């Protein structure tokens, strides 16, 4: 059966841990590992602009021996002159995997249902599983006992990064994932329910908390995480969103209220002076650049797992 990565929930806890272990190995010997995907090709479709996702997957494919086939929306007929399912069937005859950065999660589902090759969600409006893998890897590098780590996410809870963080954090067995967001911007209830279900099945029993008070949320946290308040496609709501999130910034004071030695994470791009203070993202507690680099190593591990057949 063809496996896909459309959601952080497509990996079992054991599979996620295995992908992270492999990513750490690939990072440690970046230019020393074999090229297990030699002779393979990976189609990369970008409906949205991209920096980290585009570069990480293209470099990952090349360093693993595969050939990336980059496709902009003005170069393909996806959803215009050709149905999504027909595109999936055609690409399945040409390449060995499809990496797609898109809008609706339903588009991914339709593509994957017709494809006979792996489809990888490089970002949708609902989830960002590749980012979550890099996040788990970064936390794993910094904390030797995941079951003791409390992660606090500040800001817009109803976004793709937060949704995947909840699912991946529960699968990683972190002690807690707390989301602090204002009324009307909490995570999707279906994602929260699924994260709690995953947490209940883990021996570590991750605690999933949704709170409104950001000061309460950061107390004792080992990881403080935030994302932009206005994502692509939300520009018309900018004034409303800035007003809603004005009390949820990741500030120096909130970092001081967290656990001693707490780290700061952001999936980028960052807007200094909005969701995060410059002194915080550029300070000693920031692991943002390690987090960004880990997008490459987790992309390699995902490609090897899905395309190379690595167990």
Check if 101 is active-site.
yes
What whole-number distance in Å separates Cα of residue 191 and Cα of residue 126?
10
What whole-number distance in Å separates Cα of residue 90 and Cα of residue 146?
42
Which residue of the set 4, 54, 96, 131 is catalytic? Answer: 131
Which residue of the set 54, 254, 295, 297 is catalytic? Answer: 295
Which residue of the set 40, 52, 54, 101 is catalytic? Answer: 101
What whole-number distance in Å separates Cα of residue 272 and Cα of residue 282?
10
Q: Specify the DSSP class assigned to residue 186.
A: P
Whats the size of the chain, residue-wise?
A: 311
Beta-bridge mates of residue 250: 276
Per 3-state DSSP, what percentage of the chain is helix, strand, and coil (rounded to 5)?
A: 45, 15, 40
Beta-bridge mates of residue 263: 223
Check if 267 is active-site.
yes
Strands 67-72 and 223-226: unpaired
Check if 295 is active-site.
yes
Which residue of the set 54, 267, 291, 297 is catalytic? Answer: 267
Provide the phi-psi class of 273: left if phi over 0, else alpha when psi is between -120 and 50, else beta. left
Which residue of the set 227, 254, 266, 291 is catalytic? Answer: 227
Which residue of the set 22, 128, 241, 266 is catalytic? Answer: 128
Q: 82 with 102: CB under 8 angstroms? A: no
Place of tokens 């841990």: 17
Check if 128 is active-site.
yes
Residues known to be catalytic: 101, 128, 131, 227, 267, 295
């Amino acid at each position: 059966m063809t496996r896909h990565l459309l959601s952080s929930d497509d990996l079992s806890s054991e599979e996620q841990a295995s992908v992270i272990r492999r990513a750490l190995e690939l990072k440690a010997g970046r230019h020393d590992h074999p090229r297990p995907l030699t002779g393979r090709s990976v189609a990369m479709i970008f409906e949205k602009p991209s920096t980290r996702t585009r570069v990480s997957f293209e470099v990952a494919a090349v360093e693993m021996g595969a050939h990336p086939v980059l496709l902009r929306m003005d170069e393909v007929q996806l959803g215009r002159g050709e149905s999504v399912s027909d595109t999936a069937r055609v690409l399945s005859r040409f390449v060995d995997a499809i990496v797609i950065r898109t809008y609706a999660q339903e588009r991914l589902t339709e593509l994957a249902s017709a494809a006979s090759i792996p489809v990888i969600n490089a970002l949708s409006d609902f989830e960002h599983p590749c980012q979550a893998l890099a996040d788990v890897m970064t936390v794993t590098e910094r904390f030797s006992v995941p079951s003791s780590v409390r992660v606090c996410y500040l800001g817009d809870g109803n976004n793709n990064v937060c949704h995947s963080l909840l699912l991946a954090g529960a699968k990683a067995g972190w002690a807690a994932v707390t989301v602090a967001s204002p009324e009307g911007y909490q995570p999707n209830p279906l994602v929260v329910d699924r994260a709690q279900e995953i947490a209940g099945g883990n021996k570590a029993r991750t605690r999933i908390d949704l709170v409104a008070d950001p000061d309460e949320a950061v107390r004792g946290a080992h990881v403080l995480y935030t994302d932009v308040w206005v994502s692509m496609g939300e520009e018309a709501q900018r004034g409303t969103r800035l007003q809603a999130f004005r009390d949820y910034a990741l500030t120096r004071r909130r970092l001081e209220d967290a656990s001693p030695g707490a780290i700061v994470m952001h999936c980028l791009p960052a807007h200094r002076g909005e969701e995060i203070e410059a002194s915080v993202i550029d300070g000693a507690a920031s692991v943002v650049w390690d987090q960004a680099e880990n997008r490459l190593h987790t992309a390699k591990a995902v490609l090897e797992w899905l395309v190379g057949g690595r167990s």
